[in-house]
Amino acid sequence: MMTRFSIALLLALAPMPAVANSCPSQMAQIDAALQTASLSEADMNKVKELRKRGEELHDAGDHAGSEAALGEAKQLLGI
């Protein structure tokens, strides 16, 4: 019984490192896209703020919040 619980717990937690590791790759995508983006000044500032917020949330361990902020930035960039 305990073995089944341990296996279930392990499987439930296994995706967590993958989520945490996707934040830096999303930040890199945003950084690359910013180099050639043709956005209005307001949108550019919004993307930069979301990118910064995403990194702060990632560093604080809030990967869901980070993913949300970075996802919004990527949407504005069209990536």
Q: Answer whether 0.85 is exceeded by the pTM.
A: no
How confident is the model at residue 7, as a pLDDT?
59
Where residue 68 falls among pLDDT bands split at 50, 70, 90? very high
In whole numbers, what is the pLDDT of the chain averaged over residues? 85
Give residue 31's identity as a one-letter amino acid code. Answer: D
Report percent pLDDT > 90 for the chain.
72
* DSSP one-letter code for 28: H
CA of residue 52 relative to chain centroid, distance: 11
Whole-number Å distance between alpha carbons of 11 and 41: 45
Burial class, 29, CB count within 10 angstroms (exposed 0-12 / middle 13-18 / buried 19+)? middle
Q: Where are the domains of the chain?
A: 21-77
Q: Mean pLDDT, to the nearest integer, of 24-49?
A: 97
Q: Could you give the CA distance from residue 78 to residue 76 in angstroms, rounded to a whole number?
A: 5
